[in-house]
Amino acid sequence: MTSFKALLAVVFIFATVFQSCLVHGNFHSDTYFNWGATHSSIFGNGDDLNLMLDNVSGSGVQSRKLYLFGSIEMLIKLVNSAGTLSSTGDYHDEIDFEFLGNSSGDPYTVHTNIFIQGKGNREQQFILWFDPTADFHNYTIHWNPDAVVWYVDSIPIRVYRNYKSEGIDFPDQQGMQVYSSLWNGDNWATRGGLVKIDWSCAPFKAGLRKFNARACEWNGPDSISRCAYPNQANWWTSPVYKQLNADQLAQLEWVRDNYMGYNYCTDYWRFNSQMAPECSKPQY
């Protein structure tokens, strides 16, 4: 069947505003096509968007605004796809949700990563416990001054905690935009490039629904302190979001015990036993 990689990215960049604001997204008003517009469509009063890939082009969309802290979530029905939070430039920040497809009937791999000041190599991968092409599922990145948490259908699958006070990098200095794209990644994404796209099955469509940025709008360097200030408007700073609760911890352990396929913190050969400093710290 098909194999391709779709990229959903949330990118953070700088600006300046003087009040907190929660943003509820609509594809019509809050995003625009950054490439392959003829391969995409928005419908359902702006709540739904289809990205398309054929042997001519893929397609992509990005948010008009930038955000610092909060939750970025979307319902996605995959063919094969991915997701990322990222910023631009040589010292960009990026938080990834990428979905790597495979042969028909094989499970999908969720590839997560986080770049801070241009440095990545923090990959963790998971096998999805359901068929993401059969229906829409919720994919959320929750990001606050304490941690980044990746969720699938409200189940946490990964946590990256803030140990900046101990000299470990954390993404809290740049705003990000949201990017979503569908493109051919069969040179590496599907079993390391072994599985190729069957173009006779094209066009391929990925469905996006109910993009929701419940986040602090970035408007410049002043946003660094404003979006992190603990008050009611900045709901993500509430103590309840500083740590996963007992039920969430049980869900996280279940995923990691049963569906985790790769963890950079245990890849001693790749890093010649020179492991990233956060690997020695508790993340949840």
Is 94 one of the annotated active-site residues of the chain?
yes
Closest CA to 159 of 172, 174, 143: 143
Rounded distance, CA 260 to CA 156, Å?
A: 12
The whole-angstrom separation of Cα 140 and Cα 152 is 7
Catalytic annotation, pick one of 98, 123, 253, 278: 98
Exactly one of 94, 217, 253, 278 is catalytic; which is it? 94
From CA 272, how far away is CA 284, in angstroms rounded? 26
The catalytic residues are 94, 98
